[in-house]
Structure 1
Amino acid sequence: MNAKVIQITSGRGPVECCWVVAKVLKYVMEALKAAKIEYQLLHSVKGVENGTLQSATIQLKGKNLEDFLNDWLGTVQWIGKSSFRKFHKRKNWFVGIYEVETKAELSLKESDIKFQAIRSSGPGGQHVNKVSSAIRATHIKTGLQVLVMDSRSQHQNKKIAIKRLQERIAEHNNETLKAEVQHKWENHLNLERGNPVRVFEGSDFKVKKKKKSYKSKRQQLKQNLKNEL
């Protein structure tokens, strides 16, 4: 399953841009649900006003991520009057949606695990310490460990240990990813104001409908006919 990380950012813009980030985040999550793409909000930075965000970082997992991102990556424009500064004349506000480059996630192979059989401890009568049925599993690359003594079967404890270590590795990957995106502020400085991929307008934040114009098409057809004559 493919995985990508995107960041919606106000580009350190004013409070209006932070309001737009929060609105765009909702639209993106709705679009992800419709496209049946798994997502997780990894990190967000709140704005100074309630209901605003300076940035939001999302991890996406699924198929056809490239097609989805082609429709969303870039500058998003909102056309509307500020509700935070009623007398402000500006009516065009911009935020950015960018892909965040991250390190490859750690995978877990059995060859990466060091197993150690030890004697179980705790309740179980006089038989509990006679057989080394407990398993300590250590992920060699990270040093993460689990100790399993759920069963009297060493084989069963080993299977459980692998599963629990997989869960620990998944948590490790998630925490590492969160730490990475918290330190990636380049997108806040490189927001391009223009050529938006999406445009919203009004206080209700509706998608701006494109006006259909056939005038330019008719002129192009006439020009093509002239060139053929």
Structure 2
Amino acid sequence: MTEIILHLTSGKGPDECCWVVAQLSRAFTREALKDGVACEVINSGEELPASLLMSVTGDQAQAFVSARVGTIQWIGDSPFRPRHKRRNWFVGVNIAPSPDAMPDLRDEDIVFQTMRASGPGGQHVNKTDSAVRATHRSTGLVVTAQEQRSQHANRKLARQKLAVLLDEQRQKASDSARQVQWSAHQNLERGKSVRTYTGPLFSLKSSC
């Protein structure tokens, strides 16, 4: 069965964009049911996530993802600043880089440490030593994963998070003008939305 990891990001946007990221993840979950695929958040327990990862699985996963990768626009009043004049908010959706495709993300390149899960993280956080801290040896990048139920799943998630950070780091170092994958976290292309949602119920706006 095909699995694709999506990255939803607010870029450098304000709290409204973080709110849109959270709402968009719920919209994708609803839409997935109609399209016969499974779509679920795998890494965020925050109410206003700057970014999050979603797992999309199923025979139609590729088609589902293809229709959503790019800039997403939400039209609506700020849920935090009622008198704010801005009504157009933009977030980015991209396919996450695969850790297996990155030669410097082998298990021997990472130091894994187990720890007890704690703090916010929803129903999956428990009192067992299932949480994982992963340190990339050559760069010193550190991530933690405690959102999944098992240590094995959290190790996999930690590798995915490291892949995200490494990819972002390389994009910044190269100062490339190409808008690919995770560079959208820094630069969202306004005015070329692949999907537009409106109102507090996050309804999909027809292109007609």
Per the TM superposition, whether the score is higher than 0.5 is yes
Amino acid at match of 1:104: D
Q: Distance in 1 between matches of 2:157 and 2:48?
A: 25
3-state SS, counterpart of residue 80 of structure 2: coil
Does residue 191 (structure 1) correspond to residue 188 (structure 2)? The answer is yes
Q: Distance in 2 between matches of 1:84 and 1:184?
A: 32
User: Map of 1:1-229 to 2, 5 A cutoff?
Assistant: 1-44=1-44, 46=46, 51-104=47-100, 172-181=155-164, 185=168, 186-211=183-208
3-state SS, counterpart of residue 56 of structure 1: strand
Amino acid at match of 1:89: K
Preserved CA contact (<8 Å) 2:27 2:202 = no
Structure 1 residues 172, 19: CA separation in 2 closer, same or farther (over 3 Å shift)? Answer: closer
TM-score by length of 2: 0.60
- How far 1:172 moved relative to its partner? 4.1
Preserved CA contact (<8 Å) 2:11 2:188 = yes
- How far 1:45 moved relative to its partner? 7.2
Tell me the matched-pair count.
Answer: 151
- How far 1:38 moved relative to its partner? 3.5
Preserved CA contact (<8 Å) 2:4 2:62 = no
Preserved CA contact (<8 Å) 1:2 1:63 = yes
Query: What corresponds to 1:149 in structure 2?
Result: none
Q: Distance in 2 between matches of 1:38 and 1:14?
A: 29
Residues 80-99 of structure 1 deviation map (CA, whole Å, 9 limit, x = unaligned): 12131122111111111111
Once the two structures are aligned, what percentage of the paired residues are identical? Answer: 33
Structure 1 residues 205, 64: CA separation in 2 closer, same or farther (over 3 Å shift)? Answer: closer
Residues 142-187 of structure 1 deviation map (CA, whole Å, 9 limit, x = unaligned): 9xxxxxxxxxxxxxxxxxxxxxxxx986664344224434665433
- How far 1:73 moved relative to its partner? 0.8
- How far 1:42 moved relative to its partner? 2.6
Q: Distance in 1 between matches of 2:18 and 2:56?
A: 22
- How far 1:13 moved relative to its partner? 0.2
Q: Distance in 1 between matches of 2:22 and 2:151?
A: 32
Query: What corresponds to 1:157 in structure 2?
Result: none
Q: Distance in 2 between matches of 1:85 and 1:45?
A: 23
Q: Distance in 2 between matches of 1:43 and 1:183?
A: 17
- How far 1:202 moved relative to its partner? 2.0
3-state SS, counterpart of residue 100 of structure 2: coil
Moved more, 174-183 or 199-208: 174-183
- How far 1:2 moved relative to its partner? 2.2
Instruction: Give structure 2 stretches of 5+ with no counterpart.
Output: 102-109, 111-149, 169-182
Amino acid at match of 1:90: R
C-alpha RMSD over aligned residues: 3.2
Structure with the greater alpha carbon radius of gyration: 1
Q: Distance in 2 between matches of 1:11 and 1:196?
A: 15
